[in-house]
Amino acid sequence: MHLDQLTISILFGTGIQRPEIGAVLDKLPQLKLLDQTTDPQSFVGQHTGLSPDVVLVEMNGESRVPEWLENLPQEMPHTHVLVCSYNREPDFLIRAMQVGIREFLPLPLIQSDLESALNRVRTARRQLAPADNRNGKIIVVTGHKGGVGSTTIAVNLAQALAESSTGRLALIDLGRPFPDVGTFLDQESNYSIVDMIQNVANLDKSFIQRIMQPYGARLSILHGVSDFREQDNIELESLEPIFAILRQMYSFIVIDLSHWLDEFFIRILTEADMVLMLTGLTVPDLRNLKKLWPYTMEWHQDKRKIKIVVNRYDNNCGLQLRDLENILQHPTFATLPSDYPSMMQCLNQGSPLMGAAPRSKIWQSIKEMTSRILQETGDDDHEANGAAAPRKKYWLF
């Protein structure tokens, strides 16, 4: 079956069939309705062979998540569970997310809401599909709060990748409300992702090349959206075709993503091949990350692609890496040392670490992290080839 075509089953959890829900599904030609049932207890047993891509569960206005619904995501791990209900109480929604429900839709069911949810399902399926036609890798650098250093790490990671891998690279500034890549590199630009969205119907490689700002020999930058009003008007459905073209043009696309926990944030995470989640090693950091972590695991289906990076790490601070790993039940991917003098030198010169402080501990740590990223994304062969046959590099600072 084509990735854009989905099979769906309807489960009426209250035991009463509602024809109006089936009527909404009938308006979506790329959906194939397999069955509808009012018996949740026997539903899983009916699909021991081939599970549907999506199960739409109608819960009317129940105040609690029943046991059969709690077990459904585990019993059908390859099926996306969408719940529609009149109940929008926070306790109900949080519990649904904790047990693995990936989408919640309010009743009465609206066609546009269902279409948006199904588009997210398609995006997740593409992530898990063989990547024969996907060349470039998207690496998102973000954090669980502001001030964790995502812009600093994103800029220097892009430079390290440009130094260690083959092909061209893109750095995309999606910082909100204040995009900082231009400030960090002492650059100004008249273009942003909004220009791509406004021209998405006619988007091609030549247009992207015109609005991307070169930085050095192989790195191109798309600066952030500085107008708050334009940030609120970004059309999420336009992001998928934009990233598809960027993957064709660049070996790596590094995204500096702010920590605003909204649908835009979630959509960017689902597009990523790897997410570097930055954190400090303090009690408030661990508390905040513990709250965010279960939802992050739901937003990005492959938890192996979520990498914890401890920034400004100091092993004398009292807390240890094992404290973080015990709380999240997830290993630390990398630690980056605190190096305030080197970072101030970068900011004052408007240059990445490679130019301003090439011998600093922080730059060496970023290069080590980059090597691990290349290994995990399957680009370590590129790195090896580059080492075997050194190529001439030109950097414009």
**What is the tens place of the pLDDT at every residue in 360-379?**
999 999 999 999 999 888 76
What is the predicted pLDDT for the residue at 379?
Answer: 62
CA atoms within 13 A on the CB side of 348: 8
Selection from 27, 194, 37 nearest residue 118 by Cα: 27
What is the predicted pLDDT for the residue at 157?
Answer: 95
Q: Does residue 397 have a pLDDT over 90?
A: no
Whole-number Å distance between alpha carbons of 213 and 294: 37
Per the listing, tokens 């080197």 go with 342
The torsion angle over the Cα atoms of residues 230, 252, 371 and 287, rounded to 10 degrees, is 30
- Amino acid type, 389: A
Are 279 and 285 a contacting pair, CB within 8 Å? Answer: yes
- Amino acid type, 163: E
Neighbours of 313 (CB within 10 A): 18
Neighbours of 81 (CB within 10 A): 19
What is the predicted pLDDT for the residue at 160?
Answer: 92
Q: Is 396 exposed, middle or buried (0-12, 13-18, 19+ CB in 10 A)?
A: exposed
User: Strands 213-215 and 219-222: what pairing?
Assistant: antiparallel
Selection from 159, 149, 148, 228 nearest residue 194 by Cα: 228
Are 80 and 51 a contacting pair, CB within 8 Å? Answer: no
What is the predicted pLDDT for the residue at 265?
Answer: 85
What is the predicted pLDDT for the residue at 49?
Answer: 56
From 3.40.50.300, 3.40.50.1110, 3.30.1490.110, 3.40.50.1820, which CATH number describes the 137-388 domain? 3.40.50.300
CATH class of 6-128: alpha beta
CATH 3.40.50.300 residue spans of the chain: 137-388
pTM (whole model) above 0.85: no
How large is the average pLDDT for residues 341-363?
84
pLDDT in tens, 4-46: 678 999 999 888 888 899 899 989 888 889 888 888 878 877 7
Please name every residue paired with 335 in a beta bridge, in sequence order, or none if there are none.
Answer: 310
Q: Does residue 127 have a pLDDT over 70?
A: no
Q: Does residue 272 have a pLDDT over 80?
A: yes
* Pair of tokens at residue 271: 């597009």
What is the predicted pLDDT for the residue at 388?
Answer: 36
User: Strands 332-337 and 274-279: what pairing?
Assistant: unpaired
Neighbours of 84 (CB within 10 A): 25
What is the predicted pLDDT for the residue at 96?
Answer: 79
* Pair of tokens at residue 371: 């090597």
How large is the average pLDDT for residues 225-239?
75
Q: Does residue 50 have a pLDDT over 50?
A: yes
* Pair of tokens at residue 199: 């021209």
At a CB cut-off of 8 Å and minimum separation 6, what does 355 contact?
Answer: 349, 395, 397
What 108-114 contacts at long range (C-beta under 8 Å, 24+ apart), as own/partner pairs, is 108/20, 109/20, 109/21, 109/24, 109/84, 110/24, 111/24, 111/27, 111/28, 114/24, 114/25, 114/28, 114/56, 114/82
What is the predicted pLDDT for the residue at 134?
Answer: 52
More confident residue, 105 or 301: 105
pLDDT in tens, 64-95: 888 888 888 878 877 888 999 888 787 887 77
Q: How confident is the model at residue 309 (pLDDT cuts 50, 70, 90)?
A: very high
Whole-number Å distance between alpha carbons of 132 and 130: 6
